[in-house]
Amino acid sequence: MGELVGDGKELVQVEHATVRFAGDSGDGMQLIGGQFADLASMTGNAICSFPDYPSDIRAPAGTLGGVSGYQLSFGDHRVTTPGDAPFVLVAMNPAALKVCLPEVQSGGIVIVNQDAFSPSDLKKAHYDANPLEDGTLDDYRLIPVPMTRLNEEATLDSGLSKVQRERCKNFLALGIALWLYDRPLQPLLEWMMKKFQRTPEVMAANAASLRAGYNFANTAELFRVSYEVARAKLPAGRYRRVTGNEALALGCLVAAQRTGRPLVYASYPITPASEVLHELARHKEFDVRVIQAEDEIAACCAALGASFAGAIGITGTSGPGLALKTEAIGLAVMTELPLVVLNVQRAGPSTGMPTKSEQADLLMSMYGRHGESPAVVLAAATAGDCFYMALEAVRLATKYMTPVLLLSDSFLANTAEPFRIPDSSTLPDLQLPSKPAADQFVPYRRDPQTLARPWVEPGTPGMEHRIGGLEKENETGHVSYDAENHRKMVALRAAKIAGIANDIPLAEVVGPESGDVLVVGWGSTYGAIAAATGEMQREGRHVSHLHLRHINPLPRNLHEIFPRFQRVLVAETNSGQLKMLLRDRFSAEFCQLNKVEGRPFLIREVRRAIQEVLSRD
């Protein structure tokens, strides 16, 4: 149902919308996407966005390899994914159109820069005919806009060079989108003021373009309707936008601050984990000591050495790097030192598809070490959760003197979502256990509660001691090859990790406490599963969602929950790794939803799987 707007156009209420901006790497799509996202958030919508830029090496302008896109989804209720399919596509050139069109909803709106469809442009995008004319777009509402020309006119007397003016084009596109979703320009203009302080003429030109786009949409009657997405009821507070990698970096930094120890982050660059390194390198005022190591082995060893010396030692990487860290993680298990290993997963095996997302390192994180070598394994569920799970990783590592592997993935790393900024005083307390007195100190004498050994760093008078990778004699920590002692130590190391189950939150069922299907997920699949189960619950289906953030150890209460559901659907973007862990420990009727395509679940894929399971027997 739509109401009449002033100038006779209709304003249609929608619950939710998905928009994608796409153009050449040089076109500034990430910038305007981010601005639209902030604006939508500031004006009260729930949002989630995902940038996808060209994989690795920069491709020539105008080619398919060079397309850079930014998709966001916003709505009047909780939005947990960037959206299955855009309703609006803004394409700055033929390549962008070609790459993105397949995902656009049929009947969706396609806004293109018609000035960028010259024969040579078309050729670069491998178009034989002009898609604006050959019927390619019949199923869509095509809105051709002479963006280049409009932008030129709008910025004519800005005093900038042609090239500089050309660069304002993206704001013209943004202006159109803002009109379409009935958004005010003011906040954006203010942001520009700040951003381009030092270059007022650039500011002016961008503002002119922005207005030009907005007004053009308004006057040229491009659209029969414009859309309104009502405010969402979000928890009150101050918000910012974060990506998963930003949140990981923030989490590590804040965690170290709360322990009162310096953070030593040792890492070797690798896609998609490098941003954590970049981010932390920028905050040395927090006594963050960043080591760019010569390789992942050195990075993990340096982090472990730092932990031995009393700092918060953290290392971050992705699959191929994790492979190289396993031996050092094993050393952390034997020496029972705190160590946090961030693994931002990417699609494998081997070098695989470095920029694509997958959850296939779970079993490696659990078992990818020789010998009986138990460690804590955690997984962040959302971009914002990366922050909290980093705190949790440091909490468990230091409290239990153990390596902790924290899993994220390429999708989480790049997804941006509004993050409710916590007041640091409300964050978990990471007080470190106090040291024993020198005359009480025995290197492997454990806290009866946690089974953790004392953390006594070099520099502490009177407690000089030696540790290493050879089996330790119980309590003394001396080297021991004794059979009985080995049995005991293997058991103690296992018991220590298992015992952590008593110190983590119980698993939560979202939806009916019992029913037909319980969808169990972990990590970045949270958004799609939450959306799919949420929808079906609203449709009255007996479908619930349980999301695991602690994988080793698992929450204590799973054995109570699983029996309450007819079937347990384990959904993960791998071939069934969590399923295997669950089957080993629980006897429920497990079904699987697996996707190994280097892409996250779509909401509809999860729905379909649940329906399929519901329709069984």
Partner 1 sequence: MTDVTSSLNCSESTSNADDCVRTLTRKDFQSGREVRWCPGCGDYSILAQIQKLLPDLGIRREKFVFVSGIGCSSRFPYYMQTYGFHTIHGRAPAVATGIKCANPDLSVWVVTGDGDGLSIGTNHLIHCIRRNVDVNILLFNNRIYGLTKGQYSPTSEFGKKTKSSPMGTIEQPLRPIQMALAAEGTFVARTIATDPAHLHETLEAAARHRGTSFVEILQNCRVFNDGAFDTLVGRDADEDDRIFLRHGAPLRFGPGGHKGIAERNLAPLLVDLETEQAREEELLVHDMKAPSPALAALLAALEPPHFPMALGVFRDVEKPTYDELLMSQIESLIGQRGQGDVDDLLNAGTTWEVG
Provide the token pair at 151: 């932008």
Given candidates 58, 149, 487, 556, which one binds partner 1 under the rule CB under 8 A?
A: 58
Q: How far is the CB of 217 from ligand TPP (least distance, A)?
A: 43
Count the residues of the shown chain that bind its own copies, applying the rule CB under 8 A. 61
Q: Does 163 bind ligand SF4 (CB under 6 A)?
A: no
Q: Does 241 bind partner 1 (CB under 8 A)?
A: yes
Residue 115 or 296 with smaller CB distance to ligand TPP? 296
Query: Which among 25-33, 455-463, 485-493, 521-529 is the span making contact with its own copies, rule CB under 8 A?
Result: 485-493
CA 68 – CA 572 distance, rounded (Å) = 27
Q: Does 270 bind ligand TPP (CB under 6 A)?
A: yes
Q: Any idea of the CA torsion for 440, 445, 446, 452, to the nearest 10 degrees? A: 100
Q: Answer whether 334's CB lies under 8 Å from 472's CB.
A: yes
CA 42 – CA 512 distance, rounded (Å) = 33
Query: Which among 434-442, 488-496, 509-517, 606-614 is the span making contact with its own copies, rule CB under 8 A?
Result: 488-496
Q: Answer whether 74's CB lies under 8 Å from 229's CB.
A: yes
CA 191 – CA 207 distance, rounded (Å) = 11
CA 500 – CA 335 distance, rounded (Å) = 18
Q: Does 250 bind partner 1 (CB under 8 A)?
A: yes
Query: Which among 213-221, 371-379, 436-444, 561-569 is the span making contact with its own copies, rule CB under 8 A?
Result: 371-379
Provide the token pair at 178: 């803002």
Q: Answer whether 538's CB lies under 8 Å from 324's CB.
A: no
Does residue 403 have a cis peptide bond before it, meaning omega lies within 30 degrees of 0?
no
Q: Does 58 bind ligand SF4 (CB under 6 A)?
A: yes
Q: Does 2 bind ligand TPP (CB under 6 A)?
A: no
Q: Answer whether 203's CB lies under 8 Å from 193's CB.
A: yes
Q: Characterize the bridge pairing of strands 509-510 and 543-548.
A: antiparallel
Q: Does 175 bind ligand TPP (CB under 6 A)?
A: no
Strand locations in 31-146, DSSP E?
A: 46-52, 67-75, 88-91, 109-113, 141-145
Q: Does 274 bind its own copies (CB under 8 A)?
A: no
Q: Please, what is the end-to-end C-alpha distance for the chain in angstroms?
A: 41
Count the residues of the shown chain that bind ligand SF4, applying the rule CB under 6 A. 2
Binding mask 276-315 for ligand TPP (x = CB under 6 A): --------------------x-------------------
Given candidates 93, 259, 274, 373, which one binds partner 1 under the rule CB under 8 A?
A: 274
In three-state secondary structure terms, 291 is strand
Site residues (CB under 8 A) for partner 1, limited to 450-479: 457-470, 478-479
Given candidates 146, 269, 512, 553, which one binds ligand TPP under the rule CB under 6 A?
A: 269
C-alpha of 544 from chain center: 23
CA 276 – CA 247 distance, rounded (Å) = 9
Q: How far is the CB of 327 from ligand TPP (least distance, A)?
A: 6
Given candidates 380, 574, 603, 607, which one binds its own copies under the rule CB under 8 A?
A: 574
- Nearest of 16, 6, 63, 8 to residue 40 by alpha carbon: 16
Count the residues of the shown chain that bind partner 1, applying the rule CB under 8 A. 95
Residue 470 or 491 with smaller CB distance to partner 1? 470
Given candidates 42, 61, 290, 334, which one binds its own copies under the rule CB under 8 A?
A: 334
Q: Does 356 bind its own copies (CB under 8 A)?
A: yes
Q: How far is the CB of 59 from ligand SF4 (least distance, A)?
A: 10
- DSSP assignments along 118-153, one per residue: -HHHHHHTT-SS-TTTSSTTTTSEEEEE-HHHHHHH
Choosing among its own copies, ligand SF4, ligand TPP, none, which partner's interface includes residue 599 (Cβ < 5 to 8 Å by kind)?
its own copies
HSE-up (13 A, CA, CB side) for residue 417: 30
- Nearest of 304, 296, 360 to residue 336 by alpha carbon: 304
Given candidates 2, 146, 305, 320, which one binds ligand TPP under the rule CB under 6 A?
A: 320
C-alpha of 534 from chain center: 21
Residue 159 or 468 with smaller CB distance to ligand SF4? 468
Q: Does 483 bind ligand SF4 (CB under 6 A)?
A: no
Given candidates 12, 297, 442, 492, which one binds partner 1 under the rule CB under 8 A?
A: 297
Q: Any idea of the CA torsion for 293, 295, 300, 303, to the nearest 10 degrees? A: 0
Given candidates 219, 292, 449, 587, which one binds its own copies under the rule CB under 8 A?
A: 587
- Nearest of 489, 502, 518 to residue 554 by alpha carbon: 502
Interface residues with ligand TPP (CB under 6 A) are 268-270, 296, 320-321, 324
Interface residues with its own copies (CB under 8 A) are 55, 318-320, 322-324, 326-327, 330-331, 333-335, 345, 347-353, 355-356, 358, 360-361, 363-364, 366-373, 468-471, 481, 483-484, 486-487, 490-491, 493-494, 574-575, 580, 583-584, 587, 595-599
